[in-house]
Chains A and B, each alone.
Chain A
């Protein structure tokens, strides 16, 4: 039972890492779709204020 639970925990962590990368990927895709053709929009571009 203990070995099974270690295996399950490891699989769960692996899946969670994968889904987290997917969420980060979704954010990146949305960023690129919104900012297509725009210059890099940082606080510095807006006059140096964060």
Chain B
């Protein structure tokens, strides 16, 4: 290959060498990267994730090099490399390859995020109202359950359908972990779709609430004085016992349970320096690399998979059905409690901590400025993390026997 001026501008040159379909998708993903960065900057979407994800996306789709024989590639990451010699080469060339192979491929990044989430989770309201919190969280897993057969009917394999259905649990690290275990070839689009939708929950769920719950029910005040006080010892004991029992029941999800509850236990044991480490550098460092590497993994070849469009639709359906399930659960508790429970706390069972609890509070305030329901909403919100982990454990352990 002789020298030409294009050697200086290989990103542009690669646009003339790739197939037109790949070029179109690359340009689309660069534009999407800019959009995510802009929406993150404006705080419309979660900036913690969207800014690094958007930059990773436009970097990997723009920064394409031309190798010998007009082959193209990049210096970011190659998720498809598996041969040990090729992998060793890739680890020394691609700057994100070590992060991908040592933290994504084995689910470590999800576990690190979970440790941080555990260290900032307040169990008070779950322990104050355990039955109501767990049942509302289970109602809000409706989408996680129903999307599985819908995905199979739409042509996905049971493993693929289960991993996209986990989006209904609205728990980003769980979606990443579940899709790595169930459908590794689709984990990038599934996780990216999940994080974008989770960012949109704050904007989208209020419309669902207003559609399904009348204003007089949205404005119901709840008695905050009736919430029992929960001691640190109770929370610590619960974290230890629940961790032991759930790990025993679901060994495949044991890393997630162990990481979540170790965060909770350290917080309740008041080990201040470790709490600061888990809830600060570890949580935010993991979240940053999660967003950045996910963006860098989103290359044109990944998006051109014919199943991606289906995943986009099913992800939205899962979250919509979970929201509906949570609100129906809230309405059932409203009836059972003789109209004392505000049904909006049901949607907080969709465990996007703390977004959905804030959504419930925001909608309650709009209907009645004296309606304070956030403490009650935090119970199902935290319970949702546990129920999503339980269902992920069931899917990962059992789906092979039904596939």
**Which residues of chain B have C-beta atoms less than 8 A from A23's C-beta?**
130, 134, 242, 245-246, 383, 386
Give the number of chain A interface residues (Cβ < 8 Å).
Answer: 36
**Which residues of chain B have C-beta atoms less than 8 A from A24's C-beta?**
130-131, 133-135
**Which residues of chain A have C-beta atoms less than 8 A from B391's C-beta?**
12, 16
Interface SS of chain B? helix
B293-348 interface (Cβ within 8 A of A): none
Give the number of chain B interface residues (Cβ < 8 Å).
Answer: 45
* CB atoms of A8 and B402 under 8 A apart: yes
* CB atoms of B399 and A27 under 8 A apart: no
CA distance A7 to B398 in the complex (A): 12
CA distance A17 to B394 in the complex (A): 12
**Which residues of chain A have C-beta atoms less than 8 A from B229's C-beta?**
41-43, 46
* CB atoms of B234 and A43 under 8 A apart: no
Complex partner residue of B145 from A2, A12, A28, A48, CB under 8 angstroms: A12
Complex partner residue of B152 from A1, A11, A22, A34, CB under 8 angstroms: A1
Top 7 closest pairs, chain A to chain B, by CB:
A50-B224, A27-B130, A5-B152, A24-B130, A20-B134, A8-B402, A5-B149
| Chain B proximity of A48: nearest CB distance (Å) | 6
CA distance A19 to B231 in the complex (A): 24
* CB atoms of B153 and A42 under 8 A apart: no
CA distance A10 to B390 in the complex (A): 14
CA distance A9 to B152 in the complex (A): 11
User: B228: CB under 8 A from chain A?
Assistant: yes
Q: A12-B398, A31-B127 are in contact. Are A41 and B145 (CB under 8 A)?
A: no
Q: List 16 A-B contacts (CB under 8 A).
A: A1-B158, A2-B153, A5-B152, A5-B158, A8-B148, A16-B138, A16-B141, A17-B138, A21-B134, A23-B386, A24-B130, A30-B127, A30-B238, A43-B227, A48-B225, A49-B225
